[in-house]
Amino acid sequence: MEVIERLKLWNPWWEGQKGLIPPNYIRRSIEETLLNFADDKLIKMIVGPRRAGKTTLIYSLAAQLTKKKGVLYINLEDIYLREHSLEELIAAYIRWSKDDDPVIFIDEVQKAEKWESQLRVLLDREGFSIYASGSTAHLLKGKAGSLLGGRAVEFQLYPLSIREVMEGAKTPFRAKQKLEGFIDDALEFGLFPAIVEEKDKEKKFSLLSSYVDTVVSRDVSNEINESYAMVMETFRYLIDTVGNPASVNAMRKALNISFERAEKIYNGFLNAYTFIEAPFFTHSIKVRRHIARKLYPIDVGYITLIRPNRDRGKRLEALAATELLKAGYELNYYRGKRECDIVAIKGEKILPLQITWEEASPREREGLEEAERETKAEGMLVTRENFAEFLKAIWQASKKEKQAFK
């Protein structure tokens, strides 16, 4: 098969066909921003966990841009396409189309050999506008950061936010659903796009199970050359630590493995966007570096799958953490005499949060008050009963910031 014939399979719009966007696609909040970069001759790097919707987002961007520009989409999950350099694939498109200035989309760019050098050449010599995606947290660090410094901008794409689901729901069983229903669903099954749009509960669990298996086997075990059994055991251990400070040393002791091995697996999960860290809140970088960090799964559905009877308060805390992350907040926690679950920071705004399923205990209230004194900021006690108000507060803050930016 000629290269151009293979590319046609991934670029149906070349022959007047509809794109590959699913009928119930929920528009992502970063789409407008990404489209505004279409004419910029730099790399727009879209990174995030598998199944978060990066490929579908690219399809949506491509479909919109084909109305005014030539578009080339290269899917490097395709083994045949990986046999060719990016330059060869682009050259084949240009010869066929006579379009020497397309917008180029490269899916799973890290699968291309020496991808950093290839992108550098394409930018410096050809000046293309390039969108690239990857499922690795450190794509623009190290060698890539050195080669592409000043030539790339990174965008994070996580599983859907509750706000995106509410605003974009198209299926009949979602269209009339209220915010409380969306919260309950998110707490039980999480917010990966395909799971949100699936109505059958057994199928939801099957999808979650396949996602975990893929992360453990492909994204961590294969990448770091570690046994599947040990990586899965580590995954279960880390799910058990949700809501509590965790450290590689504690993990090493619990799993009875070397520190080096534990650190390699821990970092493998972080690099695959399986977990997110919340460091200790302090103004001292030295102290911050040496105190254990909290971990949250990138999606609450992972807790349901591994520990279905996990404390509901911890699950609510994990959902609050990921919703804050998707709204652009940096996550921290504070511990003095008592602990405050989350100290969220966005710009100059600091928001201490104590999260509990029902009525807060005196100890939890004391922890929140202590964090308020330390941060000199007013906090919020979040329960299941007022979780909708918490969401509306962070959404309203984000809306005001967006309007001010405009």
What pLDDT does 148 receive?
Answer: 72
Task: Please list the alpha-helical segments (H only) found in 157-226.
Answer: 162-168, 172-175, 179-189, 193-196, 201-214, 223-224
Q: Is residue 352 part of a domain?
A: yes
285: helix, strand or coil: helix
The residue range of the domain holding 37 is 3-156
- Of 110, 131, 156, the last residue of a domain is 156
Q: Are strands 380-382 and 349-355 parallel, antiparallel or unpaired?
A: parallel
Q: What angle do CA 180, 191, 202 make, to 5 degrees?
A: 90
Residue 29 DSSP code: T
- Of 136, 156, 176, the last residue of a domain is 156
Q: Are 291 and 334 in contact (CB under 8 A)?
A: no
pLDDT in tens, the chain (406 residues): 589 999 999 998 888 777 678 888 899 999 999 999 988 888 899 999 989 999 999 999 998 898 888 999 999 999 999 999 999 999 999 999 998 889 999 999 988 888 888 888 888 777 889 999 988 877 766 656 666 767 788 899 999 999 999 888 766 555 566 889 899 999 999 999 999 988 899 999 999 999 999 999 999 999 999 999 999 999 999 999 998 898 999 999 999 999 999 999 999 999 999 999 999 998 777 777 778 899 999 999 999 899 887 789 999 999 999 999 999 999 999 999 999 999 999 999 999 999 999 989 999 999 999 999 999 999 999 999 999 999 999 988 665 555 433 3
Domain count of the fold of the chain: 2
User: Can you give the CATH number for the domain in which 400 is found?
Assistant: 3.40.1350.10
Q: Is residue 200 part of a domain?
A: no
Residues 6+ apart with CB under 8 A from 215: 49, 50, 235, 269, 272, 274
Q: Encoding tokens for residue 304?
A: 């349901």
Task: Please list the alpha-helical segments (H only) found in 272-386.
Answer: 285-290, 301-306, 312-326, 362-375
What pLDDT does 361 receive?
Answer: 92
Q: Is residue 72 part of a domain?
A: yes
- Single-letter amino acid, residue 83: E
Distance from C-alpha of 77 to C-alpha of 282, rounded to nearest angstrom: 42
Q: Is residue 229 part of a domain?
A: no
Q: Is residue 126 part of a domain?
A: yes
Q: Is residue 234 part of a domain?
A: no
Q: Is residue 296 part of a domain?
A: no
- DSSP per-residue letters across 41-99: SSEEEEE--TTSSHHHHHHHHHHHHTTTS-EEEEETTSHHHHTS-HHHHHHHHHHHH--
User: Can you give the CATH number for the domain in which 94 is found?
Assistant: 3.40.50.300
Q: Is residue 206 part of a domain?
A: no
- Of 135, 156, 177, the last residue of a domain is 156
Place of tokens 């998110």: 186
